[in-house]
Amino acid sequence: MVLDARKRKLLGIVFNLGFTKLLAFCSVTPKGNSFNKYSSKLPESPREKFIYRGKHFISEEKNRLAWETFQRKNFFGCGKKFHNHKKIISYHRNTSSTHFHNSIKINMKMSSTAAVALAIGLVLGAFSGHCSSALEVGFYRGKCGRAIDVEQIVARVVKEKFFKNRTIVAALIRMQFHDCFVNGCDASILLDGSSTEKTAPPNLSVRGYDVIDAAKTAVESECRGVVSCADIIAIATREAVFWGGGGRYEVQTGRRDGFVSQASDVDLPNPSMSVSDSVAAFARKGLNASDMVHLLGGHTVGVAHCNLFQDRLYNFKSTGKPDPDMESSLLERLRLICPENSEGTNATNLDQNPQSSFIVDNSFYKEIVAHRGVLQIDQELAGDPITQAMVKTLASDTNSFSAKFGQAMVKLGAVGVLTTEKQGEIRRSCRAINNLGDIISDFIAPPNGTVDGNFFTYTGFRVVGGGPPADFKILKASMAQFPALNGQSVSYAVIEFPSGTTNPPHTHPRSAELLFLAYGTLEVGFVDTKNNLFNQTLKAGDLFVFPKGLMHFQYNADSQKPALAISALGSANAGTVSIPSTLFTTGIGDNVLAISFKTDVATIQSSRLVLPPGHEK
């Protein structure tokens, strides 16, 4: 087909403005990675390079081969395959000029109308950034001003943290996995609270929150209210992987932060589960067996505590014997680290190659092939028919793991994302949801739920009033229990006090509390920032307000009669910081507490064993 000058000019504009960006977007979709894989193998020339990812180039003489190979690997044009393998589009750079001059050859039969349609489609691709995908590479480009690169700001923070502590690589990989695997990649793992995801047993050893806080602070100082904490997790993890020796993969961004974080929702794959059960768990998140194998390759860095694998050393599957699949020298070494009947708090590297324990590489796969896996699921990967071939390939191919791991992390990062204002927010602090009193919609509906009268109804208080309480009890109706409260800046609690019980000193960092005493009597009080105590004896029908963030308490001093109070709070997620629990159960050193309380370590240790009775809102 011969194109006239006008159409050639139009197509030239298309490729200058549109094709490169379209290629850049589609190259990060799951099947679009093919082009990067093939082009990255081609030698680069400093003068003559083929456009790749919108900013890098590959030598022109390899142009046609790379392009044809890419087409055969089902290049996606925003979800539509270009099946015609006879299309060969080549263009070259005139190295004597500062401009690109595109010569276009379309070796196929198509009308001039089709050519113009192709041109228009590519131009639209250029200006839309992406078509149907919710996330995109470079989402923040230009959103904070042309001179501000959000990803570079995060990168600087991670680099600084890495050179102070190399273990942040494993910490951030684990954080992203634990966040995404619960209710999607919504930064819910970052939220503080007495019953948030952070408090679930599998997450008690999650680290790296300080890295995310520092990155958020740095980003907010230059671009306030634009970048989500969920995206910061993804960017920071990519940077940590890079500094840990892994490949540098493209991160898709555009996530928003979630409103809900409940410890009860945390259901992570167990390190002792079978390969088939693990495959099923990953499949529920839209991840396949290959993704699972590559993501578990994150165990190339990090540690495991003895309680996660101690049964393999002494009583595997209740046999009274060690796991026969564990190499003998490793068994002896781990038994020294994890004595039988010990508490299981000691730890060992997941990658047992001491030369590679802090490096993101394929050493982990080599170790499990040699029967030197620490966790049961890791070792079973090497022998199960579902995964055995993949593991052997990764163990023998030094170069492929980095790319495969990066692709799996990108896919993990797209699980359950929130992308609209109704679904999520841009948090000001990664540790707390914003005050959503100024939401611009009537209410915040769940992403995939049905909204009817039941959504706005909470029945958890029906048990109240069934007789005198036997134990101190708090029934909550906060955002975690009652999702319809999202954005409504209100929550509720019913507190039942048997005689002689107390709600120990605590604070609500995000809300004041208005307490109504339904029956009985209560001694209540709070302490202000000048250490003044304001206390009162309440009788049935009285109200008392505890100002936001100040330490307060309630105590039923009556030795005969119970009391019942109802508290209203000005936040859907007021948060609770229990003073006794904070001091004695969070790992603050005995010496620190002994000096602070002007007592001895023995007294502190005995205090840890006998905490005041009661619970907090």
pLDDT at 89 over 90: no
Span 456-582: which CATH code?
2.60.120.10
Per-residue pLDDT, 3: 46
Least confident stretch, 58-67, 156-165, 395-404: 58-67
Residues 568, 511 contacting (CB under 8 angstroms): no
Residue 601, marked binder? no
Q: Residue-wise over 589-612: b if at least 16 C-beta within 10 A, else e?
A: ebeebbeeeeeeeeebeebeeeee
Residues 188, 197 contacting (CB under 8 angstroms): yes
- pLDDT tens by residue, 470-509: 889 999 999 888 988 887 889 999 999 999 999 999 999 8
- Catalytic residue among 56, 83, 178, 305, which? 178
pLDDT at 561 over 90: yes
Residue 615, marked binder? no
Three-class SS state of 473: strand
* Closest to 376 in 3D by CA, of 328, 311, 319, 320: 311
Using 50, 70 and 90 to split pLDDT, how confident is the model at 575? confident
Using 50, 70 and 90 to split pLDDT, how confident is the model at 563? very high
Q: Which of 12-26, 67-81, 202-216 is predicted most confidently?
A: 202-216
CA distances from 301 to 240, 304, 394 (A): 11, 10, 16
Residue 460, marked binder? no
Residue 351, marked binder? yes
Structure-token pair, residue 51: 């456009």
Q: Give, rounded to a whole angstrom, the gap between the first and last alpha carbons of the chain.
A: 75
Residue listed under structure tokens 């590959």 = 58
Q: What is the mean pLDDT of the chain?
A: 80
Per-residue pLDDT, 398: 82
Residues 360, 246 contacting (CB under 8 angstroms): yes
Q: What ranges in 429-485 are assigned the alpha helix state H?
A: none
Per-residue pLDDT, 224: 92
pLDDT at 391 over 70: yes
Per-residue pLDDT, 436: 52
Least confident stretch, 37-41, 243-247, 311-315, 488-492: 37-41
Residue 525 φ/ψ, nearest 5 degrees: -175, 165
* Closest to 100 in 3D by CA, of 50, 63, 53: 50
Spatial strand order of the sheet with 521-527 comes to 533-539, 521-527, 551-555, 502-507, 577-578
pLDDT at 386 over 70: yes
Residues 540, 511 contacting (CB under 8 angstroms): no
Residue 452, marked binder? no
Residue 182, marked binder? yes
Q: Which of 86-90, 537-541, 589-593 is predicted most confidently?
A: 537-541
Least confident stretch, 80-89, 218-227, 390-399: 80-89
Using 50, 70 and 90 to split pLDDT, how confident is the model at 64? very low
More confident residue, 562 or 81: 562
Residues 236, 157 contacting (CB under 8 angstroms): yes
Residues 455, 528 contacting (CB under 8 angstroms): no
Per-residue pLDDT, 464: 85
pLDDT at 7 over 80: no
Per-residue pLDDT, 601: 87
* Closest to 349 in 3D by CA, of 332, 362, 367, 327: 367
Q: Which of 25-29, 331-335, 443-447, 579-583 is predicted most confidently?
A: 331-335
According to DSSP, residue 316 is labeled G
pLDDT at 238 over 80: yes
Per-residue pLDDT, 486: 83
pLDDT at 367 over 50: yes
- pLDDT tens by residue, 515-536: 999 999 999 999 999 999 999 9
More confident residue, 509 or 85: 509
Using 50, 70 and 90 to split pLDDT, how confident is the model at 105? very low
- pLDDT tens by residue, 284-300: 999 999 999 999 999 99
Per-residue pLDDT, 611: 57
Using 50, 70 and 90 to split pLDDT, how confident is the model at 53? very low
Using 50, 70 and 90 to split pLDDT, how confident is the model at 222? very high
Taken as a whole, the chain contains a residue count of: 617
Q: What share of the chain is helix, strand, coil (3-state, %, to 5)?
A: 40, 15, 45
Residue 269, marked binder? yes
Provide mean pLDDT across the span 400-409: 94
The topology (CATH level 3) of 275-405 is Peroxidase; domain 2 (1.10.420)
Residue 99, marked binder? no
Q: Which helix (H) or strand (E) holds 57?
A: strand 56-58
Using 50, 70 and 90 to split pLDDT, how confident is the model at 34? very low
Based on its alpha-carbon atoms, the radius of gyration of the chain, rounded to whole angstroms, reads 29
Beta strands in 301-435 (DSSP E): 303-305, 347-349
CA distances from 49 to 60, 102, 105, 372 (A): 6, 13, 18, 45
pLDDT at 363 over 50: yes
More confident residue, 352 or 19: 352
Residue 179, marked binder? yes
pTM: 0.57
Q: How far apart are CA 444 and CA 488, in angstroms?
A: 9
Per-residue pLDDT, 134: 79
Using 50, 70 and 90 to split pLDDT, how confident is the model at 449? low
More confident residue, 18 or 334: 334
Provide mean pLDDT across the span 67-86: 37
Per-residue pLDDT, 422: 86
Which CATH architecture fits 150-265?
Orthogonal Bundle (1.10)
Provide mean pLDDT across the span 387-406: 93
For residue 178, indicate whether it is catalytic.
yes
Q: Where in the chain is the domain with CATH 1.10.520.10?
A: 150-265
Q: Which residues on adjacent β-strands are paired with residue 474?
A: 495
- pLDDT tens by residue, 113-161: 444 444 444 444 443 333 334 799 999 999 998 889 999 999 999 999 9
Structure-token pair, residue 146: 């042309």
Residues 168, 360 contacting (CB under 8 angstroms): no
Q: Where in the chain is the domain with CATH 2.60.120.10?
A: 456-582
Q: Which of 88-92, 395-399, 539-543 is predicted most confidently?
A: 539-543
